[in-house]
Structure 1
Amino acid sequence: MKQELLIGITESGVMHTDADPPIPLDTKFQMVKESGVYDYFDKTPPLELEDDYRRCSEKYELPILAGGWFYVLGRDEDLLMENLRLGARLGSLVHNTQIMMDHQDGSLVSDEQVVEIYLRAYETGEACGCRPTFEVHVNMWSEDFRRIEKVADLVEKTGDPISDDTGPFPCHFQNRQSPRAGSLQHP
C-alpha cells in the first residue's frame, strides 16, 4: 500500500528573516497555506493559545499534525502528559519529545528514567491519540547515541513498542557536557 508523504513546517520557521519583527499567528498560517508547499503545521502552543491555533488551523485548512517540546525530568513529567493531550485536541498525531540530558537534580538522566517516562508518555499518548516520539539530538539524553539501543531494548522487554525520531541528529561536541554524557573525548 502506498503512503503519502506529508511535509510540515515548525511555527518558528515561518519568517522572512531573523531580523524582521515577529509575524502575527494568523499571518503565519496564511503564509504557509498560500505557499502551497506544506501540508501541516508543527507546533505545541502554550495552553493559553490553544484556541488561537485551532481557529487559524481551521480558517486556513492547515492541520497541526505534530508538535514538540523540551523536557527536564524531575520537573516536566506532568507537562509532557498535558502537551500530549493538548496535541491530540489540536489534531496532532505525534509529539516530538526532547528529554534533556540533565535531570532537575543535576545528575545525568539514566536509561531507566528514560524508559519510565517513555512508558508513561506512550500510555498517555495511546489513550488520547497523540503518540510520543523521542528525539535523537545534542543536549538530550540520547546525545550518547550508544544509549538508544539499550533504552529501546529495555522498552521492548516491557512489551510496549518503541518509537524514535532519528531525523535531527547532528553529531558535534561544542557543548562541554557532551563528553560527560557520552564518555567521549572533546576534540
Structure 2
Amino acid sequence: MNELLIGCNGRGVQDSNFEHPVSLDEPSIEEQFRLVKDAQFFNFFDRMPLPNQMDLFKSMIEKYDLPVHTTSWLYEVGTDDERLKQNFALSNEIGATTHNMMVYSHDQQGHKISNQQVIDYYLFAYDEGMKQGVEPSFELHVNMWSEDPRRITPVAQAVKARGIPFNFTLDYSHVIFKIGNQQELAVSGILDDVQQRKIVLDPFEPDNLVDEWIEQDIIRWLQIRSVAPNGPRNIWAPHDPFETKALLPKRPSFKVQAGDPGRGILYPFTQPEPGEWHSEWFAHLVEPCKEVVRKVLKNHKDNPNSRLRYITTEMITLPDYGLNAKFSLIGQNAEIAKFTRNTWQNLH
C-alpha cells in the first residue's frame, strides 16, 4: 500500500474556533464532506449513513470525489442483531468495505459478556458481513469488552483457530490515557497487572501491548486520536445527565455524576493557541501516540503479511473527548493525517 488510505471520523469534522467552540450540533453532511475534502490530507470520509441519508451521501461522494470506505456502530450482544444486519447492508450500499464494531462489555441484563460470547459474536458478525462483502473489525475502546485489553489476544487467537481472520481496530488512545492513572486502570481491571508488570502499556517499553498485537498480524484498521498519559479530564464538559444522557454509552464502565468532567480521552496533537484548551500543553505528552503510529507503519512497510487496510483520525466532539474546545477540530485531525503521511514517506 504505497498510498496510505487515511480517512476522517465524521464526529471530528468541525471548523471550530473561539466564536464557535466544539459542539454536539454538527455541520450539515455536505459541509462535513467539504471540510474533509478541503483539508487535503484525507482519502475518504469515515461515517455510517443513516437509512434516510443514503441518497445524500451518494451525491456528496460524487460531488467531492470522497468515498466512504469505513463505517462504525455500537452493539449490545443479543439485542442488536437486526441493526447489525441493516448496518452491513447500508455499508455495502454506500461502498464501504469495513465496518467497525464497538461491542458493549455487558448484555441487556447487565451481565458481563464472556470471551466466548465475544468470539461467537465476532463469528456471527463475520458471517453476516461477508454476505454483504463488508468485513467486521472489533475495536479497542472504553466501555466495551476490550476496555480490559488483556482479553484481545485470547479472543483473536480463538477466532483465528477457526480459520477466520480476526480484524482488529487499534485505537490505542483508549490505553495511553490510562497510563499513570490508577482510577482508570482500576476501571479496566488491570491495575495490579500493570503494577506487577504482567502487562506493559507504554509503547516505548519492551513487550508492550502494541508490539504483541502487531506480532499477531491482526491490525486491520488504525484509529489515531491524540491523548496524553494520565491526561487532564475535560473540565469544559461537565456531565449534565439531562443534556448528555443520549451521548453516554448504554452501560458505562466509568460512573459519572452531575458536574463531573469528561474523561481525558483527547489531548491536542499540536499546541493550541492561548485560551483554546483548558489545560497546559506539553509536546512530549503526544509522543506515545506518535510512537504507536510509527510502529504500525514500520510493520506495514517491512512485513509482507501486514493486514493494515485503513487509517482514520479520531479527534471528536463528545464530552469525554473534545467538547467545548476552541481549537479547530478538523484542523487537529488534518495535522494528525499530515504527520501520518510524513511518517510513512520517511520510511521509504
- Give the TM-score, by structure 2 length: 0.49
Match of 1:6 in 2: 5
The correspondence of residues 35-114 of structure 1 with structure 2, limited to 5 A, is 35-114=39-118
Deviation of 1:174 (Å): 5.2
How many equivalent pairs are there? 183
Contact 1:134 1:165 in 2 (8 A): yes
Closer, same or farther in 2 for the Cα pair 1:21/1:44, shift >3 Å?
closer
Closer, same or farther in 2 for the Cα pair 1:177/1:58, shift >3 Å?
farther
Deviation of 1:19 (Å): 4.3
Closer, same or farther in 2 for the Cα pair 1:168/1:70, shift >3 Å?
farther
Deviation of 1:165 (Å): 1.2
Contact 1:100 1:141 in 2 (8 A): yes
1:166 matched to 2:170? The reply is yes
Q: 129, 133, 137: which one pairs with 1:133?
A: 137
Match of 1:178 in 2: 187
Match of 2:35 in 1: 31
Hey, what's the Cα distance between the residues in 1 that align with 2:84 and 2:24?
32
Could you say what secondary structure the match of 1:170 adopts? helix
CA deviation map 1:16-69 (0-9, x unaligned): 221495311112212222222211000112222122112211221110011101
Q: Which amino acid aligns with 1:118?
A: Y
Match of 2:125 in 1: 121
Could you say what secondary structure the match of 2:72 adopts? strand
- Give the TM-score, by structure 1 length: 0.87
Q: Which amino acid aligns with 1:8?
A: G
Contact 1:77 1:117 in 2 (8 A): no
Hey, what's the Cα distance between the residues in 2 that align with 1:89 and 1:108?
34
Q: Which amino acid aligns with 1:11?
A: G
1:145 matched to 2:144? The reply is no
Quick check: which has more Rg, 1 or 2?
Answer: 2
Contact 1:135 1:168 in 2 (8 A): no
Which segments of 5 or more consecutive residues in structure 1 lack a partner in the other structure?
none
1:156 matched to 2:155? The reply is no
Which segments of 5 or more consecutive residues in structure 2 lack a partner in the other structure?
17-21, 196-348
Contact 2:76 2:106 in 1 (8 A): yes
Could you say what secondary structure the match of 1:104 adopts? coil
Hey, what's the Cα distance between the residues in 2 that align with 1:61 and 1:129?
22
Contact 1:136 1:169 in 2 (8 A): no
CA deviation map 1:136-168 (0-9, x unaligned): 111110111111111112212222111111234
Deviation of 1:178 (Å): 2.5
CA deviation map 1:84-112 (0-9, x unaligned): 22111111111111101111110011111
Contact 2:185 2:191 in 1 (8 A): no
Contact 1:92 1:130 in 2 (8 A): yes
Deviation of 1:175 (Å): 6.1
Q: Which amino acid aligns with 1:178?
A: V
Deviation of 1:169 (Å): 4.2
Match of 1:16 in 2: 15
Hey, what's the Cα distance between the residues in 2 that align with 1:118 and 1:20?
31
